[in-house]
């Protein structure tokens, strides 16, 4: 069995350390790694990486990770490094936020023109104090 390592760095938080995930593949999966990356493993990989990075990993990120990692495994690379734009987990459910808002029209009030004094000329400049 051969050990393959994935290292992910977050572009949005460059001051944080990168996160590694390792797995061991046998001969049958080394030649066909796409068979190993099934739906169940992708769920496990996503939850593990979200736990380690404290960032939201969506379907696009998982597809990118799996595609690049399987390609590197087929080429014989034992380590793969990726740099992704990951948002914190707090922003994961922001699209589900429901706020009806306040659509009432505010009360109108007349402007106070008592402090406006015209100056010289046909069209005097207005001075607002």
Record the pTM.
Answer: 0.66
42 belongs to a structural domain: yes
Residues 6+ apart with CB under 8 A from 24: 1, 2, 3, 4
pLDDT at 67: 92
55 belongs to a structural domain: yes
pLDDT at 124: 61
What total of structural domains would you count in the chain?
1
47 belongs to a structural domain: yes
Mean pLDDT by 10 residues, the chain (129 residues): 89 79 84 85 90 87 91 89 84 73 86 72 65
pLDDT at 97: 74
pLDDT at 55: 85
């Amino acid at each position: 069995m051969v050990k393959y390592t994935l290292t992910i760095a977050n572009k949005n938080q460059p001051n944080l350390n990168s996160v590694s995930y390792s797995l061991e593949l046998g001969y049958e999966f080394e030649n066909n790694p796409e068979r190993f990356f099934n739906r169940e493993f992708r769920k496990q990989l996503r939850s593990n990486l979200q736990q380690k990075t404290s960032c939201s990993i969506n379907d696009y990120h998982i597809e990118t990770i799996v595609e690049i990692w399987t390609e590197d495994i087929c080429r014989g690379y034992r380590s793969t490094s990726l740099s992704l734009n990951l948002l914190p987990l707090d922003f994961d459910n922001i699209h589900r936020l429901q706020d009806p808002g306040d659509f009432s029209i505010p009360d109108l009030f007349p402007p106070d023109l008592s402090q406006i004094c015209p100056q010289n000329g046909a069209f005097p400049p207005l001075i607002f104090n």
